[in-house]
Structure 1
């Protein structure tokens, strides 16, 4: 299935396999490279992507932090070959995040905190 399709379009024009999202670059609207998609958070019951976990900072995995971004804040830009989010690097430094090896509890309160921080970016 994927061997004849190097662009990975075999699942459809607007669809992508989750394994291909991991590692995709993330930029802000100014074109600054912010990080890359580390993982995705899915709704257990509805199966929809809720958050993209973006790695930010660090070097060779040391000092790296993870920023959960509401999936709705990301727009794919074919020219850049990555996702774009409407946030500056300074704003990102204030965003909800966690250190490698210290994943949060994905409870309602944590989700609300993330959504409230990013709400202006996707209303």
Structure 2
């Protein structure tokens, strides 16, 4: 089946695996998965993975979707923060079921933006 994107839409399978660059234009990792809000279908977080070797290991950090900006020239996403900023952020739990509203508030608070459920 052919993949096609219309205007601003993109399939989630095309987003997962896309590289992410920090504010210094350094590749820091890739989008491992997207987390969707069950009721609205809104993308709440992109889980960015970096520090892995050949796809193994590495740390995962939830980033509010609003922090990512797509760069057509790079065919990648950019952040307005550094890798060091991300390394100080709350990490993604080892299991999706370990996610809590408190962790969500901490992530959004760390990046200084209102939580997606408040917008």
Q: 2:19 aligns with which of 3, 18, 25?
A: 25
Cα deviations by residue, 1:42-100 (Å, 9 ceiling, x for unpaired): 0000001000000011212343110100000000001111000111121111011147x
Task: State whether structure 2 residue 61 is matched by structure 1 residue 67.
Answer: yes
Q: 1:28: Cα distance to partner?
A: 1.1
Equivalents in 2 of 1:90, 1:116: separation in Å?
Answer: 17
Aligned length: 112
Q: 1:103 aligns with which of 67, 83, 95?
A: 95
Counterparts of 1:16-95 in structure 2, within 5 Å, are 16-95=10-89
TM-score, L = length of structure 1: 0.83
